[in-house]
Amino acid sequence: MLNGRETLASLDQAMSDLRREETELDTRIERSTRSLADLRSRQNDGYRELARFRLDNDAASGLTSRLDDAAREAKRLMDKRSEDFRTLSEELRTKETALADLRKNRDALAGNREQLASRMDSLMEEVDSLLEADESYLTQSRKAEAAAQTADAARAKAQRALADREEKGKAYQDDILFIYLWKRGFGTPEYASTGLIRSLDRWVARLIGFEGARANYAMLTRIPEKLAAHADRCEVLAAQEQDVLAAMSRKKMAETAGEDLAGKIEDATAEISALDQKIEDLEPSITTLTNALHAFSNGEDDGFRKAEEQLSGSLRGDDLQDLWRDALATPSPEDEKIVRKLEDLADQIEAVERDIRQDRELQRDIAARRAELASVAQNFRRNGYDNWDSTFSDNSLTTVLLGELLKGAITGAEYWTRAQRSHKRRKPKGTRIGFPGGSGLPRGMGGGFGGSSGGSSGGFGGGGFKTGGGFGGGGFKTGDTF
């Protein structure tokens, strides 16, 4: 069985390995791209040499000048581009170093947190035994349980009142005349009609027995609100009593351990959360720089395009084609050597272009797999899957399955689904007496501390107390009394 920290560490290591492959590919493609530019420059030199051999001085001078200008401009652009590439690479290395440091610090914190949690877990049963003999703790436990039961009963009563309002209020709401008078505020200080309308409204009210029905309906609508507010107050009081109990559990644990283990675990968790945020903030900028570096290494930047345009433009034109054909048509061995050299350069250019295409395809594939892996690792961190209580029954998550993800045989979504399916939360050894329901335990050990995160021993829902009589009567019948 795998623990969560080891599983996340394997994902981070796999990402680092992929990133290293990407960097090597970037360097290789950039080297090939520069080699391609150099080969085209040598093509320029070859045609310049051929021009000097085959043409008269004026024609050769004009062609040579054109080729020389293109070569100089291309070299200037490529030199500037190389400097930009180095700057970009250095910026990316700086950010990747910062990311590696963040991950290293996070792993160290997570390891320390795991040791603290394991030590706390080993003391849980001893703390239970001590609290079992602590009368003040037992008294508070009974008090917290009673408050929880009261809150449960209050919430159940509020829910029943709400259900009654929905069920019994329908008869009132479906009666057009009753709702007409109700909305006009008839029988209340808000009613403002006078004259004939007031007389007609009185007649309708007497006809349907509105006064008695209005009192019933008013009570029917107000009771759920009052009971809900009462239930809210009861739940707040129950949570406060539970927090007192949780604090007593933590205090006994600290006394037994000789240090505040739960507090230290919470502090480590807070630091880890802060590092996680820094990691998430840094990763997008690394992705942006990586994509920019890919564009550079692939020759997709403006500098390379302009340099390539200069070189390829200088090699286009009927004059060079004529020069080539004339050299092939003559028996002279000197110009044939130059032609063979140009043919060899053309073959080399084709081979380099083929290598670049293949490396670019591999580069895109690695980048896609790294993105999938990064998404999985982010889900692990966000869901606390590297906490002390996280375990995975599927050992292949760090072996075969991870290998399949790295090869692109499965997607990150498929890997994450398998991880979720095999994920389990282990429970601390104690909680029989102390830390009831996980209340007071630090996050990552199945609980939280404080009213917003601590669990209650029972929850709210169940039990109840009687409400006395119902409400009904008057000339307007709604069916069952409330």
Q: List, as one string, the DSSP characters of 244-291.
A: HHHHHHHHHHHHHHTS-HHHHHHHHHHHHHHHHHHHHHHHHHHHHHHH
Residue 245 amino acid letter: L
What is d(CA 156, CA 458) in angstroms, rounded to the nearest whole number?
A: 14
Determine the Cα angle at 24 with ends 22 and 16, to 5°: 50
pLDDT at 281: 92
The two three-digit tokens of residue 232, written as one number: 């809210």
Q: In which band, very low, low, confident or very high, does the pLDDT at 44 lie, cut at 50, 70 and 90?
A: confident
In 3D space, the residue among 344, 343, 340, 294 whose CA is nearest the CA of residue 33 turns out to be 294
Q: Which stretches of 184-209 are DSSP H helices?
A: 195-208
Q: What is the pLDDT of residue 61?
A: 55
Distance between CA 106 and CA 108 in Å, rounded? 5
Listed residue (121, 224, 81) closest to 434, CA to CA? 121
How far is residue 134's CA from residue 128's CA, in Å, rounded to a whole number? 10
Q: What is the pLDDT of residue 354?
A: 92
Sign of torsion, CA 77 83 87 89? positive
Tell me the pLDDT of the chain averaged across its residues. 79
Q: Provide the phi-psi class of 464: left if phi over 0, else alpha when psi is between -120 and 50, else beta.
A: left
Instruction: Work out the pLDDT band at 325, boundaries 50, 70, 90.
Output: low
Confidence category of residue 335, pLDDT binned at 50, 70, 90 = low
Beta-bridged to residue 3, according to DSSP, are: 391
Q: What is the pLDDT of residues 90-115, one digit of tens each?
A: 998 899 999 999 999 999 999 999 99
Q: What is the pLDDT of residue 229?
A: 92
d(CA 168, CA 37) in angstroms, rounded, equals: 85
Q: What is the rounded CA–CA span in Å between residue 340 and residue 44?
A: 14
Per-residue confidence (pLDDT) for residue 182, from 0 to 100:
74
Long-range contacts of 140-145 (CB under 8 A, 24+ apart): 140/241, 140/244, 140/245, 140/248, 141/245, 141/433, 141/436, 141/457, 143/241, 144/238, 144/241, 144/242, 144/244, 144/245, 144/436, 144/456, 144/457, 145/457, 145/458
Separation of CA 93 from chain center: 24
pLDDT at position 382 over 50: yes
- 130 and 231 in contact (C-beta within 8 Å)? no
Residue 440 region, left (φ>0) first, then alpha (ψ -120 to 50), else beta? left
Q: Find the range with the poorest average confidence among 143-152, 194-203, 294-303, 377-386.
A: 294-303
**pLDDT value of position 215:** 80
> Among 14-28, 47-61, 154-168, whose mean pLDDT is lowest?
47-61
Strand partners, 302: none
CA distances from 397 to 121, 141, 422 (A): 26, 42, 9
- The continuous run of DSSP H or E covering 425 comes out as strand 423-425
